[in-house]
Structure 1
Amino acid sequence: MHPRQAQSQSLEPQQPSASHPERDPAFDELLTYLRQNHGFDFTDYKPPSLMRRIGLRMHEVGIGTYRDYTAYLQANPNEFKPLINTLWINFTGFFRDTLSWEYLVADIIPRILRQKLADAPIRVWSAGCASGEEPYSLAIALAEALGIEQYQKRVRLFASDIDANTLHQARQGRYSALKMANVPIALRERYFKPLGNYYSVCSELRSPLLFLRHNLLEDPPMSQIDLLVCRNALIYFNQDGQMKTLVRFYFSLNHAGVLFLGSSELLPQADRLFKLLSVQHHMFRKVEKSSLTPELLIQGLKRA
């Protein structure tokens, strides 16, 4: 990005340069302010990503330094909401990465069902669900595999995100025709109702879903999960944050539970906890190491 000048002051955030690798102390002061005053801890996020996203918002309001932006946040409490909306990158869609979803439907879901007794519950977690397209895609896939009655009876689908605004959208379950473009017509007619220019998720599909606000780095994970889908959220964490989250995912999953990561996530440390099922589709199966405590697992991963 090229620096822009306004009133003899750069509007780009002051970031470390190659000749000055130290992180700007004012950037850390800003993160401390966000943690102490708004309860958002970005310690385990990658600094370059944070700097870039915060810099976008600083540029929008015409502020050139982290220290000035901290002062601006203090003087303008309403600024916090657009900042957080800038930081949470909510890019999602129904059946995103079609080939991976086809593999999930043809191989992974049947595998999970074969391991279950006829009436046993099936627990699924969509972590970082954004505006809900992913958990509703999971719901459709499970309803198709089980039939709607068994789906409602057996499935418990948790959908979590840290962003309250996108969770509100997800709970509404209303999507434009553009958003629905990747949903086959037959599924659209079966699981959605047209409402003017929108489509609304039918109540039969919605009933097993529970949407909740959840911080992957701080809050306890869901438990006894058979399928955990977390796609392209870990790429925004630093290595410690990724390891911490993978350990939580490990303990969240049942024996032989499946982890479905995003196409942008190449995490070598995942091999310590999960067996690779498909390198193309980024799917893993839990490896049993029940004698290890979370503390020992974290220490082992950090030595990798």
Structure 2
Amino acid sequence: MIIAAPKSQEWLSDPQFLPLKDWIIQRTGLSYYSSRETEFAAALERVFGQGKSRPSAGVLLSRIQSNASDLDALVEELTIGETFFFRHLEMFQALQSAVFPDILQRKAASKTLRIWSAGCSIGAEPYSIAILLREMLGMQFKDWSIQILGTDINRRFLRVAQAGAYDPWALRGMPPQILHHCFTQEGNKWRLTDRCRSGVTFRSHNLASDPFPNSPEGLAAFDLIICRNVMIYFDQAFIQKLAHQFHDSLSPGGWLAVGHAEPHTNTFRMFRTVNTKGAILYQRPTGGSEILESISTPAYPPPRTAWAPLPVTLPALEVASDRFSTPESPSPFLSESFLPKPDAAAESPPQSYPLEAAMQLADRGALLEALQACDTFLLNEPLSAAGHCCHGMILYQLSEWVAAERSIRRSLYLKRDLALAHYYLGLVQERQGHNAKKHYQNALDLLLDAQADDLVPLGQGLTVREFRSLLAMPETLAEAR
């Protein structure tokens, strides 16, 4: 669990804090932080506030403007990398049933296919697409020139993607036959085989500041662009600009896939809208008349019924000896057994240890998913002090002060000696303008007899020594002593 430090309040009082935040948002497009000063300050503290010489916001702004490594370090803290293979199965089912049949037929003569995963995080999405295409094409895969490009602003995520080694959490819900044909186990990691990584490349790209389409850089003439759960962090003006850029980066007839939570309708009116079960897709028209027709459609058309797949006929696919299925068994991708049902457990943390899963999600910055996992746990364990404490800490990270206080007080009602709960109750009280000294003191008193190297309950490896140092930060607590 990420421990929030009161020290981050010093950033908020710095007169150059807002200019620093505004410059970062302009540079990265992360307008999600426009009204989240506390979260942004906490990120600054985690990255730049740990050393002996803590820079002011003005000094840090100058450093970041001239030092790419400082900017990269902050971006790594501000962006979220929680993802897993075949995440949101409805999208992959739509690619399998509608998008790829259309593209493969139109490109049958050239046998070339170009795909861009924009905001690819740790690479699970582009690799999932490669696995899907390999299974759909079978022996014909080797006859195609398939290029799948994954880009992200977070260089640390890209290093993970390029390494191609993942922990089991990123592979949850992966069908066993695919896991064992596409990965080899190395200790507690699973590494993609060279065959299943074929055609997938990664590089850094900033959607806000790096120009595209850009033919010399290979950022043009794509058959499919996927940009999921990225635009939710941008403001509407920037999203509209991106929609036009994505349109111009596609070949005529190319497809755009965005996340289910992304804006649509009027934003993507230059595309043909295609509704499939569980996913909305956008296709660049192939001719002038289609473009005029698309632009003239109402900004908010009524919902359409599920769209049937395009009436295409692919050449018969041979059964390949190097595919994941055998000649005696049907292709797992082309049968219901390959992709689990959309409501399968892959979309939610395993039910056997949901509280641990919630804390892992929170560590990775996936706070809404962490909250959902914690809610699931509390439905089954309503008297768990640890569960309510975890719930409150996640709500605190989401700046939901009142709800966070309610959950933390419930945990203390059930178990009065949770030092971490007293600490977070103090943080919540401070955010609401109340005196928090007694709560910090309660947390300290509970650890008086503990050894320095003992672990704080629910602290995810936090030692008593580290916790005492954390509690020594607030000036109010220093005065209380």
Report the TM range for the smaller structure's normalisation: 0.7 to 0.9
Q: TM-score, normalised by structure 2?
A: 0.50
1:1-304 equivalences under 5 Å are 10=9, 13=12, 26-32=17-23, 41-42=27-28, 45-48=31-34, 51=37, 53-58=39-44, 60=46, 61=49, 68-71=56-59, 80-147=71-138, 150=141, 153-219=144-210, 220-221=212-213, 222-278=219-275, 280-288=278-286
Structure 1, 43-52 or 193-202: larger mean CA deviation: 43-52
Q: Deviations over 1:188-223 (max 9, x none)?
A: 122112222211111112121121111112322321
Which has more radius of gyration?
A: 2
Residues 269 and 90 (structure 1), Cα distance of their counterparts in 2 relative to 1, 3 Å cut: farther
Which amino acid is 1:271 matched to?
Answer: F
Q: TM-score, normalised by structure 1?
A: 0.76
* Alignment root-mean-square deviation, CA: 3.4
Residues 206 and 28 (structure 1), Cα distance of their counterparts in 2 relative to 1, 3 Å cut: same
Which amino acid is 1:13 matched to?
Answer: L
Which amino acid is 2:149 matched to?
Answer: F
Q: Deviations over 1:44-77 (max 9, x none)?
A: 7345366354222145449xxxx94343566897
- State whether residues 148 and 204 of structure 1, in contact with CA within 8 Å, keep that contact through their aligned partners in structure 2: no
CA distance in structure 1 between the partners assigned to 2:184 and 2:287 by the alignment: 46
Q: Which structure dedicates a bigger proportion of its chain to strand?
A: 1
- State whether residues 130 and 166 of structure 1, in contact with CA within 8 Å, keep that contact through their aligned partners in structure 2: yes
- State whether residues 121 and 152 of structure 2, in contact with CA within 8 Å, keep that contact through their aligned partners in structure 1: yes
CA distance in structure 1 between the partners assigned to 2:165 and 2:240 by the alignment: 35
Which amino acid is 2:169 matched to?
Answer: L
Which amino acid is 2:27 matched to?
Answer: D
- State whether residues 16 and 58 of structure 2, in contact with CA within 8 Å, keep that contact through their aligned partners in structure 1: no
The count of corresponding residues between Structure 1 and Structure 2 is: 272
Q: Deviations over 1:229-282 (max 9, x none)?
A: 110111111122112211110011111111110121023433321121126313
Q: Which residue of 2 aligns with 1:18?
A: none
Residues 200 and 131 (structure 1), Cα distance of their counterparts in 2 relative to 1, 3 Å cut: same
Secondary structure in structure 2 of the residue aligned to 1:89? coil
- Unaligned 5+ segments in structure 2 are 214-218, 290-294, 300-481
- The structural deviation recorded for 1:106 is 2.2
CA distance in structure 2 between the partners assigned to 1:112 and 1:195 by the alignment: 36
